[in-house]
Amino acid sequence: MQNIGHYINGAHVNAKGARLHDIYDPNTGAVQRRVELAGADTLDKAVKSATKAQRIWAQTNPQRRARVMFDYKVLVEKHTEELAELLSSEHGKVVADSRGDVMRGIDVIEFACGIPQGQKGEHTYGAGPEIDVYSMRKPLGVVAGITPFNFPAMIPMWMFGMAIATGNACIIKPSEKDPSVPMRLAELFVEAGGPEGLLNVVNGDKEMVDAILAHPVIKAVSFVGSSDIAQYVYGGATATGKRAQCMGGAKNHGIIMPDANMEQAAKDILGAAYGSAGERCMALPVVVPVGEGTAEKFLEAFMPKLKAMRVGVSSDAEADYGPVVTAAHKKRVESMIDQAVAEGATVLADGRGFTLQGYEDGFFIGPTLLDNVTPDMETYKEEIFGPVLQIVRAKTFEEAVALPSEHQYGNGVAIFTQNGRAAREFADRVEVGMVGINVPIPVPVAYHSFGGWKRSAFGDANQYGNEGLRFYTKVKTVTQRWPEGETEDSAFIIPRF
């Protein structure tokens, strides 16, 4: 059985005596690979390699860095299908979703190709008598990214794309559940002409995370995962003087106004709630019909679509979604459905106990729909992170604004309406970081930035876009004056007017 090690200085390496962690095929429940769980010694090797490579890379002009990023973009595009299939084999999401995972990462790499424009700094001529002032954005040095299991292609590229383009070296610590795609992405970077050692991948668990937080050479940490761990990473990073951007959990709401196009809303919410088995921080696990009769109209359009959904193995091109990532996660999601029922929710569709013929040991959960959920229920307050949609009925627009605004998470929200004034007011007032108007998953394009509010994000810097550029650089400002020299030769060099 294959053991996955680490990718350091352009080569695969193994850590002596490292613990091993099982990697499952979520479709069958069988162990297919094992990954090494290393610690501080392995990280230190990666940091030394990264430090050496970064010193040279930082002196490379922005045009050259951009060309490497462009060549890398082209190469990843060429390998998209390979990456998508590898991703699905470990994560369980269907190949179409995995393909989208890769492509959204490529979008950020494409943005990073414009780094000569983004990093050029500012200049003021004549800020004082014969004084000019200019600023430049310098790389931080060696930075680290700690990435989650649910987007093993996109989120690493969010992090190392911006970090490397701006002149840093980057160390990625992927999820131990599905580490193969980040390893392959690092191989492709070297193949595209990236310097060896500039992008390293170290595998591990909490021991590796703690080593990253404590390492004195690492200047910044980017994290995506659950809110409790995001808060832990943020506290540990900032305590040692590092910059930190830590994205946490979510409980995104879909507000359905009485005038919404119900067919379109039902179609959009179906994909947003159940796509990738709900294992997305920008999934839409809560729907909020507003006003008398709106819930019934929504359900009339939604239920036939829900009943027609197909759950299948990740290689099934006809499947709407596949299994969840592990048996432990399947057990957790099903236990939260149990809890919701105990709290008084009405089950309109029950995915517990779902099995797929021929794949009885796979980690499958059927699409679940819970009605009459209320804000006091623990299962409403917490992130379920599975193929479960909850209906919370609201009587008024004010109540609909308050629900996502008062929730502990503030990642994303969507409103479905044909009323421009209502949409504008909602977008202005709702206390959430990313808003969709008739857009169910409002993940910003690469030249904007991604980030939530409240317990969905710790730190004041968003991912990618110009926010990412600022996170991975520090400003140096130069104030200069060239007074007239006192030697005779100076008069010939600089004429007086």
Which residues form the catalytic set?
A: 281
- Chain CA centroid to CA 207, Å: 22
Tokens representing 201 are: 């991948």
Quickly list H helices, 19-126: 40-58, 62-78, 80-91, 95-112, 115-118
The structure tokens listed for 189 are 């970077």
Q: For residue 442, what are its two tokens? A: 């409002």
* Torsion over CA: 15, 16, 22, 25 (sign): positive
| Contact predicate 132/125, CB 8 Å | yes
According to DSSP, the β-strands at 457-458 and 243-247 are antiparallel
Residues in the chain, overall count: 497
Q: Is 35 left (phi over 0), alpha (psi -120 to 50) or beta?
A: beta
Give the containing element (helix H, strand E) for 469: helix 465-471
- Check the CA dihedral 44-50-56-62 and report its sign: negative
Q: DSSP letter at 278? A: G
Pair of tokens at residue 257? 């106004």
Strands 142-146 and 3-4: unpaired
Separation in Å, CA 86 to CA 184, 268, 362, 485: 9, 27, 17, 66
Q: Which residue has the tokens 């709401």?
A: 253
Token digits for 224?
A: 């995506």
CB proximity list for 198: less than 8 A, separation 6 or greater: 50, 53, 54, 57, 164, 169, 170, 189
